[in-house]
């Protein structure tokens, strides 16, 4: 089997000389690649070799025990089907015209269901009702989505957050090699929106295409799909479990136009749902997008204290306090007016909210109860609730 696997890898590498996109990833022996790069093998030659490999593989399968270990059986079937797909790709590159369904069956071992226009129209009608307003549906849909564009200068931060969150949710469920990691690059001029390039040794490079605006829902999509628990994890597990632990060399190469891709893309997309419930996802997206906004508003709350100080000291009158609040605390005039009446009733009590929060936060975080240590944070928080501590005792 190992010899068949090696010859398979070399055939995929030979295909890569005709069609660079064909070899999506390879981390096997570098000399095999160097050998393939010496020249283009004729398609007829590759095809005949693939046929010989299938015959040899059939012989191996026939000599398996009557009740083979499942993983062994899967290995045989997988390799056979990958080889058949390789032969189909050779036929295509040699000029054969396959219909869409013939092609997907031959390459990806599956055929997509067909739907008439009416099927989609029914969904559009539903959407028409849910997105009220004037103008064509496409404009209303676009206007709706526009609210959720990630600002260009926030892309890196939002993606880092999304990746960290997907990773945090994935890692407890499996054991990945310690050295697994990936880097993110921002690129333009591609036909895809994201791509995971697996380099072996549990490392990937994830590229994000910034040609078009990126909506907030793509942050989780891309981070899960390309990273955790999607392509990066898939490739790392195949490398660890099959290529390294078992020595199944056929997994050191990834032929893009092959049944493997349906599993790769299917798991990458479904992985999003595995890692996040709908509600968790919504919460994350809201946070990621509005984090900075909320942060600024939080800090603006001190403008309220300032208005109260001036008003209660008699430096400004109610009208000027209202103006101050609308200008610096972004309050609507009626809300600002209501706030000045709170000043009348409760006076400097206003500082207890924002200054109070900040002092408590400082206190707990200085004791190690940070975002990164939520358990410790809970512990410190509960301890503070249950102890008679003075505000001056919160200061470091």
The site map against Zn ion for 267-306 (x = CB under 5 A) is -x--------------------------------------
The least CB distance from residue 269 to Zn ion, in Å, is: 8
Distance between CA atoms of residues 236 and 243, nearest Å: 10
The least CB distance from residue 261 to Zn ion, in Å, is: 8
Q: In terms of residues, how long is the chain? A: 396
The least CB distance from residue 196 to Zn ion, in Å, is: 6
The least CB distance from residue 360 to Zn ion, in Å, is: 44
Give whole-number Cα distances, 326 to 169, 320, 332, in Å: 42, 10, 6
Q: For residue 254, what are its two tokens?
A: 């990834």
Q: Interface residues for Zn ion in 107-136 (CB under 5 A)?
A: none
192/293 with CB nearer Zn ion = 192
User: Among the candidate windows 19-27, 129-137, 171-179, 265-273, which touches Zn ion by CB under 5 A?
Assistant: 265-273
239/380 with CB nearer Zn ion = 239
264/329 with CB nearer Zn ion = 264
User: Among the candidate windows 33-41, 259-267, 278-286, 308-316, which touches Zn ion by CB under 5 A?
Assistant: 259-267
One DSSP character per residue, 252-282 reads: GEEESSSHHHHHHHHHHHHHHHHH--HHHHH
198/343 with CB nearer Zn ion = 198
Cβ atoms 270, 29 nearer than 8 A: no
Handedness of CA 284, 285, 291, 294 (dihedral sign): negative
| Residues in CB range of 142: below 8 A, 6 or more apart | none
Identify the three-state secondary structure at position 84. helix
The least CB distance from residue 183 to Zn ion, in Å, is: 17
Distance between CA atoms of residues 373 and 265, nearest Å: 34
75/225 with CB nearer Zn ion = 225
Residues binding Zn ion: number (CB under 5 A): 2
How would you list the strands of the sheet with 181-187, edge to edge? 181-187, 203-209, 194-200
The least CB distance from residue 379 to Zn ion, in Å, is: 41
57/268 with CB nearer Zn ion = 268
Cβ atoms 365, 380 nearer than 8 A: no
The least CB distance from residue 210 to Zn ion, in Å, is: 17
Distance between CA atoms of residues 225 and 270, nearest Å: 8
User: Among the candidate windows 3-11, 179-187, 263-271, 324-332, which touches Zn ion by CB under 5 A?
Assistant: 263-271
Q: For residue 57, what are its two tokens?
A: 């593989």
16/194 with CB nearer Zn ion = 194
DSSP code at position 250: G
The least CB distance from residue 376 to Zn ion, in Å, is: 37
194/369 with CB nearer Zn ion = 194
Q: Taking the CB of residue 327, how many other CB atoms lie within 10 A of it?
A: 12
The least CB distance from residue 388 to Zn ion, in Å, is: 57
The least CB distance from residue 383 to Zn ion, in Å, is: 46
205/303 with CB nearer Zn ion = 205
Q: Beta strands of the chain (E only): which ranges?
A: 23-26, 181-187, 194-200, 203-209, 253-255
> Tokens 């083979």 label which residue?
68
DSSP code at position 148: T
Identify the three-state secondary structure at position 341. helix
User: Among the candidate windows 34-42, 139-147, 257-265, 278-286, which touches Zn ion by CB under 5 A?
Assistant: 257-265
104/305 with CB nearer Zn ion = 104
Q: Given the rule CB under 5 A, which residues bind Zn ion?
A: 265, 268
């Amino acid at each position: 089997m190992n010899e068949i696997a090696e010859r398979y890898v070399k055939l995929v590498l030979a295909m890569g000389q005709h069609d660079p996109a064909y070899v999506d990833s390879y981390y096997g022996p570098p000399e095999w690649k160097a050998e393939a790069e010496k020249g283009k093998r004729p398609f007829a030659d590759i095809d005949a070799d693939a046929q010989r490999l299938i015959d040899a593989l059939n012989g191996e399968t026939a000599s398996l025990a009557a009740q083979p270990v499942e993983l062994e059986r899967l290995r045989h079937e997988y390799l056979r089907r990958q080889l058949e797909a390789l032969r189909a790709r050779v036929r295509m590159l040699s000029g054969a015209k396959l219909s869409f369904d013939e092609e997907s069956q031959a390459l990806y071992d599956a055929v997509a269901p067909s739907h008439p226009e009416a099927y989609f129209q029914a969904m559009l009608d539903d959407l028409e009702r849910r997105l009220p307003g004037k103008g064509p549906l496409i404009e209303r849909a676009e206007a709706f989505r526009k609210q959720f564009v990630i600002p260009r200068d926030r892309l890196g931060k939002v993606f880092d957050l999304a990746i960290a969150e997907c990773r945090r949710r994935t890692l407890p469920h499996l054991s990945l090699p310690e050295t697994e990691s990936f880097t993110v690059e921002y690129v333009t001029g591609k036909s895809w929106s994201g791509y995971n390039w697996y380099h072996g040794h549990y490392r990937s490079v994830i590229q994000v295409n910034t040609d078009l605006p990126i909506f907030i829902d793509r942050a989780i999509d891309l981070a899960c799909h390309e990273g955790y628990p999607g392509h990066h994890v898939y490739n790392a597990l195949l490398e660890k479990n099959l290529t390294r632990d078992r020595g199944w060399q056929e997994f050191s190469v990834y032929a893009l136009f092959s049944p493997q891709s349906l599993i790769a893309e299917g798991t990458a997309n479904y992985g999003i749902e595995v890692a996040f419930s709908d509600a968790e996802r919504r919460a994350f997206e809201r946070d990621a997008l509005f984090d900075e906004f909320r942060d600024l508003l939080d800090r603006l709350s001190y403008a309220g204290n300032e208005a109260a100080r001036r008003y209660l000291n008699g430096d400004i009158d109610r009208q000027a306090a209202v103006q101050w609040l609308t200008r610096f605390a972004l309050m609507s005039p009626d809300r600002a007016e209501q706030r000045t009446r709170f000043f009348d009733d409760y006076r400097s009590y206003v500082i207890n909210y924002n200054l109070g929060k900040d002092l408590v936060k400082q206190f707990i975080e200085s004791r190690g109860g940070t975002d990164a240590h939520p358990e410790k944070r809970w512990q410190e928080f509960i301890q503070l609730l249950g102890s008679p501590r003075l505000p001056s005792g919160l200061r470091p």
